[in-house]
Chains A and B, each alone.
Chain A
Amino acid sequence: MAEQRTRPRDAALGTGLGRVLLLVYGIFALSASARALVQITTHFTEAPLAYLLSALAGLVYIAATVGLAIGGPRGRAIALTSCSIELLGVLVVGTLTIVDAVAFPDATVWSEFGQGYGYVPLVLPFIGLWWVWRHRPTAP
């Protein structure tokens, strides 16, 4: 199928490095959502807060992946918002899980700054935000 419109220049889908970034974001979107789905469907009552947080993390990763992929003004806005929430989430949840471990009886992607995922969740929002910043629109 021929493409009707040209893809925005800052769409991550348009460059090789962007595609790798999307792959990594996609992996996290998949793993966070799948984890949340299993947790919520099998033992939701054990730790509702942690599991809802897992679900939120999954949605945020999906939004970030989509935003980075499509680019353009709308994609930028989506990517900027979701990457910011992601950064905030990993920092707040990371701190809380260390300071107040009782509130988080079960793990999420963001627990202990994403330690269970090789700290990639801590690094990923910075890379996403760097991507948005590097492809900021330049004044004509």
Chain B
Amino acid sequence: MRDVNGPLSAATIVVALVFAVWFLLRCALNRPPSRFDLLAGLALGALVAVLCLVAVVGLFGDDRPSEVGTFVGYLFTAVAFMPTAVVLARMEPTRWGTLILGVAALVMPVLVLRLQQIASVTGG
């Protein structure tokens, strides 16, 4: 499972953190989520979805993570997270909607790191 430990994961984490700073800044400036913010959230979600797709393909390879169930659970969570946050943010057209996007963007790196952690324990 070296797939989830590659540059794609690193890129996802960096993008998520950059977006998180952006969203928190926008929240601090009392801005509701703009169209750009929502699209940025979706873009981050798409990036994570690609990463998860790569991970799923890796599941059919040789070195599977020993905790496949947990791994798949995290995959589902990771894929669903940003789209959910974008829907919630659209329902809350105030600065707090932007904070929802910010919190979600902060959770993404954690999810990716956990995926990497679980993936690195293989065999057994």
Closest to A16 in B: B96
Interface code B95-114, partner A: CB below 8 Å = 1, 0 otherwise? Answer: 11101100100010010000
B94 at the interface (CB under 8 A from A): yes
Binds B, one of A17-25, A51-59, A82-90, A126-134: A17-25
Give which listed residue, A16, A27, A42, contacts B97 with CB less than 8 A: A16
Q: Which residues of B contact A103 (CB under 8 A)?
A: none
B88 interface hit (Cβ, 8 Å): yes
B100→A20 contact, CB < 8 A? yes
Residues of B within 8 A of A118 (CB): 110
Measured CB to CB, the closest approach of chain B to A66, in angstroms, equals 18
Please, how many angstroms separate the alpha-carbon atoms of A30 and B88 in the complex?
A: 17
**Closest A-chain residue to B88, C-beta based?**
A23
Task: Judge whether A19 and B69 touch: CB under 8 Å.
Answer: no
Q: Least Cβ distance of A71 to chain B in Å? A: 17
> Which residues of chain B are within 8 angstroms of A24 by Cβ–Cβ distance?
103
Minimum distance in angstroms from B30 CB to a CB of chain A: 11
Q: Mark B59-75, 1 if CB is under 8 A from A, else 0.
A: 00000000101100100
Distance (whole angstroms) from the CB of B78 to the closest CB of chain A: 12
Measured CA separation A16–B99 after assembly (Å):
9
> Chain A 96-123 against B: per-residue CB contact (8 Å), 1 yes, 0 no?
0000000000000000000000100000
Closest to B91 in A: A19
- B residues near A34, Cβ cutoff 8 Å: 73
Q: List 17 A-B contacts (CB under 8 A).
A: A16-B96, A16-B97, A16-B99, A17-B99, A19-B88, A19-B96, A19-B100, A20-B96, A20-B100, A20-B103, A23-B103, A27-B107, A34-B73, A38-B69, A38-B70, A42-B67, A118-B110
| Interface set of B (CB-CB < 8 Å, partner A) | 67, 69-70, 73, 77, 88, 92, 94-97, 99-100, 103, 107, 110
A interface with B by C-beta (< 8 Å): 15-17, 19-20, 23-24, 27, 30, 34, 38, 42, 118
11 new A-B pairs (CB below 8 Å) besides A16-B92, A42-B69? A15-B96, A16-B94, A16-B96, A16-B97, A19-B100, A20-B96, A20-B100, A23-B100, A38-B67, A38-B69, A42-B67
